[in-house]
Chain A
Amino acid sequence: MYIIVIGGGKVGFYLAKALLNEGHEVLIIEKDPLKTEFINNELGSICIRGDGSEVTTLTEVGTGRANMFIAVTGDDDDNLVACQIAKHKFNVPRTIARISNPKNEAIFKKLGIDVTVSSTNVILEDIEEEVPTHPLTHLLDIRGKGLEVVEVKIPPKSPTIGKKVKELSLPEGSILTLIIRQKEKPKVPTANTTLQAGDQIIAVTTPETEEALRTVLRGL
């Protein structure tokens, strides 16, 4: 595949390196002459100096035949505009934008960017997972379907302990899919499964019912 990367900072550099290792044809566009020189010394001549939102530059590098266009500068606006030009002027089939402000995720979708990667959200999710006291952890968003996979841990004094799954009034749209217990094999809960303290429950829910699900399971 021919992949164009906008931005030769740390993200762009390591991304290009990984893509090259996978055998792709990669080209980086970077504004800064020193960064451009560094990349060309390290990775071979794959970086040109220029502005990734300039039609002239994009024409020069043959954006029309690119299979993928990835904008990873530190500025959300530059990533948005570069991707929009790639999409609408050069008909690149897949455009990916890095975003720093998580609120921009919805806006970028609405403005036609195929995929957004929010570094802030990724780091936040990792932190949530690492902090054991966090009552509900987001594991995965099911893109475009309004569903998410979450993890809830049953605290030691929760009133839910000893209750069967069928006795819980789970909010509509939420389903418990897996129970993980120490020293036991993870199992798919049935209506008659009894909850125990320390159970890790993997559930599918909607963003609207997430709060209700947490309350039902943790009894708080």
Chain B
Amino acid sequence: MNVVIMGCGRVGGRLAGLLDIEGHSVAILDTDSYSFRRLPADFAGTALVGDGMDEEMLKKAGIEEADAFVAVTQADNRNIMAAQIARHIFNVPKVVCRIYDPLRRELFSSLGIEALTPTTTFAQMLKDKIEGVEE
């Protein structure tokens, strides 16, 4: 599978490593080259410095041949915009992004953007821990 990831934070970097080990072809974008320190030392994919909301940059990362696109930068709106470009401009078959704000996620899910919200899941997990609920 060809995968393009936008945002090389802890999550993006880790995901890139996991996919790379399984033999997928991964391109990862970040506006700060310092973020690429999070990639595993033996990472065989492509790391590109650039903005994932820019069409040209996405093309460089191989978005036109991509089977999946993942947007996991710190900012919800950047993720939403990039995901919509991947989905509606480049017709990438599988697009997933992270949206911290649950209400925003709800709205954009209804507009056809698949998103995960760590906020609600994680808050619930913390609550369960405090209350001693067994997993």
Contact = CB atoms under 8 A, between A and B. Distances in A.
* A and B are partners in one complex rather than unrelated chains: yes
Contact of A75 (B56, B77, B84, B85): B77
A95 to B, nearest CB: 14
Most chain B CB inside 10 Å of its own CB: which residue of A53, A54, A88: A53
B77 A101 contact: no
Interface SS, B side: helix
B88 to A, nearest CB: 6
Given A89-B107, A111-B88, A77 B54 contact: no
Given A81-B76, A101-B54, A110-B89, A88 B81 contact: no
Nearest to B88: A110
B133 interface: no
B101 interface: yes
A76 B53 contact: yes
Contacts, number: 53
B103 A77 contact: no
B41 interface: no
A55 B77 contact: no
Contacts of A53: 76-77, 101, 104
Given A103-B54, A110-B88, A77 B81 contact: yes
B126 interface: no
B1 interface: no
A54 B103 CA distance: 8
Interface residues of B, number: 22
A: interface residue count bin: 10 to 19
B130 interface: no
Given A77-B53, A84-B111, A111 B84 contact: yes
A19 interface: no
Contact of A77 (B55, B75, B89, B110): B75
A88 B113 CA distance: 14
A55 B106 CA distance: 10
A56 interface: yes
B104 A81 contact: yes
26 contacts: A53-B77, A54-B103, A55-B101, A55-B104, A56-B103, A76-B53, A77-B53, A77-B80, A77-B82, A80-B77, A80-B80, A80-B81, A80-B84, A81-B80, A81-B104, A84-B108, A84-B111, A85-B104, A85-B107, A88-B107, A88-B111, A103-B54, A103-B56, A107-B55, A107-B85, A107-B89
Interface of B: 53-56, 75-78, 80-82, 84-85, 88-89, 101, 103-104, 107-108, 110-111
Given A76-B53, A88-B107, A107-B84, 16 more contacts: A53-B76, A54-B103, A55-B104, A56-B103, A77-B75, A77-B80, A80-B84, A81-B77, A81-B80, A84-B107, A85-B104, A88-B110, A101-B54, A110-B88, A111-B84, A111-B88
